[in-house]
């Protein structure tokens, strides 16, 4: 996993690994919360190259969402539609809590909702 890239404005992009499971799920939380630095209002977890995410990874994404929100930062997920990660996000209903975008660029370009 790479260090977060800061995009123009006040967003940070964190690239996620190709597979997320119990062996590396805690790193997800660490990377996302580390990106929630001063002045960052949106953190985008780039899962466009992620082919697998188990329940441990999903749990860490939800925890990251809670911690980001507590810091006043919005967590967004960039997930290619129709893939296995997209399917598990939809089946579990996580997309009701965390904003999901079909491309990284849309996640970056989308305006932050008020409040």
Residue range 29-83, pLDDT digits in tens: 999 999 998 899 999 999 999 999 999 999 999 999 999 999 999 999 999 999 8
Task: Say how far apart CA 61 and CA 94 lie, in whole Å.
Answer: 9
The structural domains of the chain, ordered by start, are: 5-109 (3.30.750.24)
Cα distances from 53 to residues 22, 24, 83, in angstroms, run 9, 10, 11
Q: Give the position of tokens 């006043």.
A: 72
48: Cβ–Cβ under 8 A, 6 or more apart, which residues?
A: 78, 79, 80, 103, 104
Work out the pLDDT band at 113, boundaries 50, 70, 90: low
Task: Say how far apart CA 69 and CA 60 lie, in whole Å.
Answer: 14
The average confidence (pLDDT) of the chain is: 90
């Amino acid at each position: 996993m790479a260090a977060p890239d800061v995009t123009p404005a006040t967003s940070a992009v964190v690239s996620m690994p190709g597979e997320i499971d119990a062996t590396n799920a805690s790193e997800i939380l660490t990377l996302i919360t580390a990106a929630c630095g001063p002045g960052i209002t949106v953190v985008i977890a780039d899962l466009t190259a992620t082919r697998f995410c188990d329940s441990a990874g999903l749990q860490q994404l939800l925890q990251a969402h809670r911690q980001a929100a507590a810091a006043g930062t919005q967590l967004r997920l960039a997930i290619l539609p129709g893939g296995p990660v997209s399917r598990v996000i939809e089946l579990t209903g996580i997309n009701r809590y965390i904003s999901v975008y079909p491309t990284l660029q849309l996640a970056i370009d989308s305006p932050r909702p008020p409040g």
